[in-house]
Structure 1
Amino acid sequence: MKTPVTAPFGQWKSPISSTLLGADGVLFESVATSNGKVYVVEGRPKEEGRGCIVDYSGPEAHDILPTNYDAGTKVHEYGGASMIAFNGYIVFTDRKAQDLHRLDPSTGQVEQITKTDAALRYACTSATGSLADEQPGWLLAIEEDHSKPSPSEVRNRLVAVNLQTKEIVNVASGDDFYSAAQFSPDGSRVCWTQWSHPDMPWTGARLYVAKWNNGEVADVHLLAGAPEKESVSQPRWGVDNTLYYTSDVSGYWQLYRCHIDTLRSERVALDGLEDVDFSQPDSRLGNCTYVGLTQTSMIASYTKNARWSFILIDLSNDSWQEMNIPVTDTIMLADTPLSETKIALLGSSETSLNTLFTLDIAETAKLDALKVTSEFRMPVSLISKPEHFSFPRVHGEHLEGKAHAIFYPPQNPDYQAPSGTLPPLIVCLHGGPTSQTGTGLNITDQYWTSRGYAVVWVNYGGSSGYGRAYRDILNGQWGVLDTADTASCVSYLASSGRIDPNGVGIRGGSAGGYIVLQALCDYPSLFAGGNSLYGIGNVRALCEDTHKFESHYAFALLFEPGASEDDKARIFRERSPCFKADKITAPLLLLQGDMDRVVPLNQAEEMVEVMKKAGREAKLVIFRGEGHGFRQAKSRIDAVEEEEKWWKKALLGMGE
């Protein structure tokens, strides 16, 4: 056995390179099935982030989308659901035109379906009838009209598209947003969710069902959901036309069924699973965590303590059994089964990167891997295993209850640190803020741990996966409670002797980048460096300049109900790092795309300007052609290398 080399934490050599992180492999964006075939949209950094549709049904994968197309929708800015598969065909949105197209996987032939104004965006969610030439068929799609650029003037509606005539008819309009529209298996009904500001889909989405007759909708009924009180997600038809969905009316996203003839709903009573979430925030379209197999069987996944598990449900009596499937994170199921015993899904685990699987339960549960996002085979001995833990709140005014985090210790079998030393810590913060970090293998985390850094992901108050009360605790406290939870996590790890308290860096993207800036301002003594990726420095400017989907999101997070205009002005200023940058003592790196519509470039530019005026150290790196997150290989590589130089300087004192 090779004797480990003794070297300081943070200076270990690793086989995980910046090129491996940024350019190698693909990013899975969605999965769909039809006629026993499995299709995936792969985001490819080496192709400028192009979304390619790939057929993984045979012994070898085949690209079936011609190279002049890029599968991806910009609806709600975050997209998702850029394709569906139905009756042997695929309908997808092309990223450039944002129109719907039909793809014949057998020939690669593409036909444009919608040929509308360039200001219109589409995301197809369901189909009925035939998609073949000269045959009657319909699509359900979200239409987003950007003909007037102001977020308040963007219009969304649910439409149906006649594939023969290309006629577009209105199904539902008047609310601010629509999602998850589905035809019933017999084509007689449609369902969908909708909501309006100030709600987000995870605070108050409503579920509707209606009769469908060849382009006409009748007998529209509200089934579940209430503004600011109940979030309904993932409506999905069973094979017998029973309608299933998830609702958090109980405090957790639980499964419900609706008997469509009587419009009577009831919870799928899974004893012992009342305190788990069967869904997750619909920040992107196409969320799918459960799928019906037969009239009496369903595969569902749920999350608890940042770990997803799979169960098989007998719908005849609501009994269930754990499947013990080694897929625990980044869960996305194809919403149509491959057979009565088989599904396709995307997911990762503590020891495997995001993977395309098929799962067959015909006899014993059989999980087959079809494609892994990276060709890099990470040695098991190199993997840092996650530890989910809860910690007390010791910073801030809200000290009740506990917050949660996932810790990764340094791990590299070729190295050991000098005796008596402790590792530097990189604190990571997810975006959202109504999101969650799970325990799946993330090659970026392993990039740092294999170099001798410890990593912790904070699921601060407001994160999903711990029930609605934990999500709602951030209301009125954005930038305060989440920041204090982050500081409490650092103090907990330091007091338990697991990290070097003088070598703590903090990084995060979007809302996570906002916490980075807030934490550097409010708890400067805890942090030796920061990296804000497209983070928010001025919350008032964000509210005035962000896209429609999130244009009211911040208000409930910032203000208590009934707040006066004076209170709002005060809070805007108190919660904006750009007005207190003089409190920052740590060097700050900012990474930002110039095409970002979610958090515009001017946020980072203003933060750098005020930092430098205050005599503080800040560096802004702008990535041309990038939006909210980096898709291109060069951008992804450069971002990692810039960050590593920053940590060496800020946390290790090694200079650039």
Structure 2
Amino acid sequence: MPLSITVPFGAWPSPITSERVATAQTTLIDVLLHEGVVYWIEGRPLEAGRHVLVRLGDDGAGVDVTPQPFSARTRVHEYGGGAVALAAGAAYFSNFADQRLYRLDGSGVPTPLTLAPASNDAVLRYADGQIDATRHLWIGIREDHRTPGAEAANTLVALGLGPAGGESVLVQGSDFYASPRLSPDGRLLAWLAWDHPDMPWTATRLWVGEFDGAAVTNAVMVAGGPGESVFQPEWSPDGLLHYVSDRSGWWNIYRREASGAAVNLCPRTAEFGRAQWGFGMSTYAFVSADQLVCTYTEDGTGKLALLNLQGGALTPFDLPFTEFSSVRASAGRIAFKAGSPTVAGAVVVLDAASGHAAIVRNTAAMADDPTLREYISTPRLIEFPTSPGETAFALFYPPANADCHGPPGSLPPLLVKCHGGPTSSASRSLDLRTQFWTSRGIAVVDVDYGGSTGYGRAYRDRLHRMWGIVDARDCGAAASYLAANGLVDAARMVITGGSAGGFTALSCLTHADPALRGLFRAGASHYGVSDPEALTRDTHKFESRYMDWLIAPYSDAGRQTYIDRSPVRNAGRIGAPVAFFQGTEDRIVPPSQTEEMVAALRRRGISALYLLFAGEQHGFRQAIHIQWALDAELYFYAALAWR
């Protein structure tokens, strides 16, 4: 092994190149388990981001199920999820290009189940389906865009799988629906509903109705309402309804007894649920009528455990992972997505009886290369002061490179990452995009600012009407904390974020407090919000009223608050260079927002890099674009912030 040499921080040569990052790491979308057979959906940058359903073969290798050019991805709510349902050896999936539902059996040729769109517009979209095998139905969510100029209509529908086909609306009237779940005997249907301006993590309602295959009748609301978020209803094998609720201040698992009473099965200051940005999310699954497997976040770390449904005993598995999702159970097997600071998102299969676990698909094979292990930075969770009496959390990644060390007495530059959502959280899994920075001698801090998930309802609610204030304050506080403790160079700090995180980054750079905006030498916004006013007028249905909760109801009285928080309206405060990265087909944050911000900076002579990527939506999925964005951001900082 060569000796470590002295190289300035930020200029370390690294084998973790942008090309290797872009081509080596697929995106693991979902894990499925049907009759003991493991499936997963992966997004492939080298196939222009195509989502492929893959089955674990008998030889331990993955076998593609969906053929080219089909992509198993739905656009319901734009964020999608729940694109595939499995039953009796067949896969039912939503295809991205036309948003039609298809059936794929042993023939390997997908057969369409829904009508072709009249134009290139995918006006009918489907998600979160379940198969009623007895009645030959697909039951799920439909999003209807057929009325020009009107808001899309979301309903719960049943679609016939037999020769006669047909489609009928089962439940309508609410703005949104999710998680239709049929009881084991097929007599009852449970589902979630919510209305503007709520989001599923602020207030949802859990309903149960009688179902005869043609209609839902006698529906009653059994949980949820104002101030309560209900997540993932599921029926146990013996026909009792379970769900996750945050009525205690934490997302805990509840059972609805035959009497109608709700029982918290494991009261705990831990999060057993998630912010439902996509469909098909699963944090627990039934191993038997007496036991379920669940994941939860406690003290900033994810865990997987067995929960005894009679006594409430929680028995964690001893596993080398810190983040879990897509938890499924079938035929004595448990499958899930997992990761850790040294393991990227992976498909893991666990034997319920023995507890033995094995990785069957690692989405970043490059990370398994033993020659790269000494270039991987392991984060530590930090808690730092923000406003008086409050603290926030972040993952701090120090620079790591086996070949290099910084000059004596010098400190590394800092990249502050603002996660999206903003109701999301910093990932606890290995992300080669973060290691791209740290292996070059650049420290990274991924901030779980107030409003993030994983720390209880009160922590999430810190962002209520405070977006652009609390998140910006906390990101600045994280940077100041690291600089004050001698871990980073206070004169070379930059800030970056995607989507809502882009808004947070821009809010720091345009903040009314000159001390906060003066912390950062440069910034970057990846498809970030720059004009919250425009977001109230020009975005998709799912988030069209989210601003009511994050900022204020948009009205004459509330408009000034939007102006005060708007980066584009306050672009005159920016003194640092900013890079912008945008997709041409982004419906969540349209390119016009970014272009207005770029123009405002250039009029003032502020350096503003703008890269517009053809064919990309909200988040980049094509390898070449991921590579270009990484390289451009690095060179931008090196030229303008770290000289």
TM-score, normalised to structure 2, is 0.96
Which structure 1 segments of 5+ residues have no match? 131-135
SS at match of 2:91: strand
Match of residue 2 from structure 1: 2
SS of the residue corresponding to residue 276 of structure 2 reads coil
CA contact (8 A) 2:99 2:124 kept: yes
- Give the residue type in structure 2 aligned to 1:420: G
Task: Give the Cα–Cα distance (whole angstroms) in 1 for the partners of residues 480 and 308 of structure 2.
Answer: 46
1:461 aligns with 2:460: no
Are the counterparts in 2 of residues 129 and 187 from structure 1 also a CA contact under 8 Å? no
2:267 counterpart of 1:267: no
> Which residue of the partner structure matches residue 490 of structure 1?
479
**Paired residue for 1:415, among 404, 419, 422?**
404
Q: 1:506 is matched with which residue: 492, 495, 516?
A: 495
For 2:456 and 2:529, locate their aligned partners in 1 and report how far apart those are by CA, in whole Å.
26
The yes-or-no answer on 1:317 pairing with 2:311 is: yes
Report the Cα distance in structure 2 between the residues aligned to 1:86 and 1:265, rounded to whole angstroms: 31
Structure 1 pair 564–448 and aligned structure 2 pair: CA distance change class (3 A): closer
8 A contact 2:381–2:393 mirrored in 1:
yes
Report the AA paired with residue 321 of structure 1: T
User: RMSD across aligned C-alpha pairs, in angstroms?
Assistant: 1.5
More displaced 10-residue stretch of structure 1: 317-326 or 637-646: 317-326
Q: Structure 1 residue 359 and structure 2 residue 350: aligned?
A: yes
Determine if the alignment matches structure 1 residue 516 to structure 2 residue 508.
no
**Aligned 1:438-587 pairs, distance under 5 A:** 438-522=427-511, 523-559=516-552, 565-587=555-577
| Conserved 8 A contact 2:346-2:361 | yes
Match of 1:588 in 2: 578
What residue is the counterpart of 2:64 in the other structure?
A: 63
SS of the equivalent of 2:24 reads coil
The one-letter amino acid paired with 1:202 is: W
2: distance between equivalents of 1:531 and 1:325?
36
**What residue is the counterpart of 1:120 in the other structure?**
124
Rounded Cα–Cα distance in structure 1 between residues aligned with 2:434 and 2:52 = 26
Residue in structure 1 matched with residue 240 of structure 2 by the alignment: 242
- Counterpart of 1:413, as a letter, is A
Give the C-alpha shift of residue 324 in structure 1: 2.0
Q: Distance in 2 between matches of 1:649 and 1:243?
A: 58
Q: Which letter maps to 2:454?
A: G
What SS does the aligned partner of 2:518 have? helix
Partners in 2 of 1:577 and 1:186 — Cα distance?
54
Rounded to whole Å, the distance in 2 between the matches of 1:124 and 1:111 is 19
Offset of residue 304 of structure 1: 2.1
Matched ranges for 1:36-51 at <5 A: 36-51=36-51
- Please say if residues 93 and 124 of structure 1, whose CA atoms lie closer than 8 Å, have aligned partners that are also in contact: no
Question: Contact 2:536–2:547 at 8 Å: present in 1 too?
Answer: yes
Query: Do 1:353 and 1:442's aligned partners in 2 also have CA atoms closer than 8 Å?
Result: yes
Q: Give the aligned partner of residue 165 of structure 2.
A: 166
Question: Does the aligned pair in 1 maintain the 2:503–2:530 contact within 8 Å?
Answer: yes
Work out the percentage of aligned pairs sharing the same amino acid.
37
Report what 1:87 is aligned to.
88
Instruction: Tell me, yes or no, if the aligned pair for 2:31 and 2:326 is still in contact at 8 Å.
Output: yes
Matched, 1:154 2:152: yes
2:633 — aligned with what?
A: 643
Over residues 432-451 of structure 1, what are the superposed CA-to-partner deviations in whole Å (9 max), with x where a residue is unaligned? 11111132211111111111
SS of 2:330's partner is coil
Which residue pairs with 1:129 in the alignment?
Answer: 133
Q: 1:102/1:564 Cα in 2 relative to 1: closer, same or farther (>3 Å)?
A: closer
What whole-Å deviation, never above 9, does each CA across 1:318-337 have from its counterpart, x for those lacking one?
11212122222252223xx2
The letter of the residue matching 2:467 is: W
**Amino acid of the residue matched to residue 411 of structure 2?**
L
2:26 alignment counterpart: 26
Counterpart selection for 1:428 from 414, 417, 429:
417
Aligned pairs (5 A) from 1:167-316: 167-227=166-226, 229-259=227-257, 261-270=258-267, 274-316=268-310
* SS in structure 1 at match of 2:231: strand
**Secondary structure in 2 matching 1:526:** coil
Structure 2 residue 392 is the aligned partner of structure 1 residue 403 = yes
Would the aligned equivalents of 2:294 and 2:327 in 1 still touch at CA under 8 Å?
A: no
| Distance in 1, Cα, partners of 2:4 & 2:148 | 59
- 1:580 shift after superposition: 1.6
Output the CA distance in 2 between the equivalents of 1:299 and 1:238.
Answer: 12
**Paired residues of 1:582 and 1:616 also in contact (CA < 8 A):** no
The offset of 1:613, in angstroms, is 1.5
Aligned 8 A contact 2:272 2:296 in 1 = yes
Confirm whether residue 138 of structure 1 aligns to residue 137 of structure 2: yes
Deviation per residue, 1:428-476 (Å, 9 max, x gap): 0101111111322111111111110000011111111111111111111
Q: 1:350 maps to what in 2?
A: 341
Q: Deviations over 1:462-517 (max 9, x none)?
A: 11111111111111111111111111111111111100001101100011000111
Aligned 8 A contact 2:31 2:335 in 1: yes
**Does the Cα contact within 8 Å between 1:30 and 1:82 map onto a contact in 2?**
no
8 Å Cα contact 1:306/1:438 also seen in 2 = no
Q: How far apart, in 2, do the equivalents of 1:387 and 1:238 lie?
A: 38
Distance 1:244 1:156, change over 3 A: same
- Structure 2 unmatched ranges of 5 or more: none
Give the distance between the partners of 2:554 and 2:567, measured in 1 at CA: 22
Give the superposition deviation at 1:116: 5.4
Aligned equivalents of 2:527 and 2:69: distance in 1? 29
Instruction: For 1:368-387, list aligned pairs within 5 A.
Output: 368-376=358-366, 377-378=368-369, 379-387=372-380
Q: CA deviation at 1:85?
A: 1.4
Amino acid of the residue matched to residue 24 of structure 1? A
The one-letter code sitting in structure 2 at the alignment partner of 1:74 is: R
Q: Report the CA distance shift for 1:263/1:219 in structure 2 as closer, same or farther (over 3 A).
A: farther
Corresponding residue for residue 133 of structure 1: none
TM-superposed deviation, 1:182: 1.2
Q: Deviation at 1:32? A: 1.3
How far apart in 2 are the matches of 1:185 and 1:109? 31
Cα displacement (A) at 1:2 = 3.1
What is the rounded CA distance, in whole Å, between the counterparts of 2:605 and 2:517 in structure 1? 15
Asked whether the equivalents of residues 536 and 554 of structure 2 are also in contact (C-alpha less than 8 Å), the reply is: no
Contact 2:87 2:133 in 1 (8 A): no
Partners in 2 of 1:329 and 1:145 — Cα distance?
Answer: 35
Deviation at 1:148, TM superposition (A): 3.0
CA–CA distance in structure 2, aligned partners of residues 317 and 307 of structure 1: 25
1:607: Cα distance to partner?
A: 0.3
TM-score, normalized by length of structure 1?
0.94
Counterpart of 2:108 in structure 1 is 108
Q: 1 CA distance for matches of 2:48 and 2:2?
A: 41
SS at match of 1:215: coil
Q: Letter of the aligned partner of 1:243 in structure 2?
A: L
1:633 positional shift? 1.3
Structure-2 separation of matches of 1:32 and 1:433:
27
Residues 539, 262 of structure 1: CA spacing in aligned structure 2 closer, same or farther, 3 A cutoff?
Answer: same
For 2:449 and 2:563, locate their aligned partners in 1 and report how far apart those are by CA, in whole Å.
22
User: Alignment partner of 2:201: what SS?
Assistant: helix
Answer yes or no: is the 8 Å Cα contact 2:128–2:279 preserved in 1. Answer: no
Task: Determine the C-alpha separation between the residues in 2 that align with 1:68 and 1:407.
Answer: 40
Q: Secondary structure at the match of 1:592?
A: strand
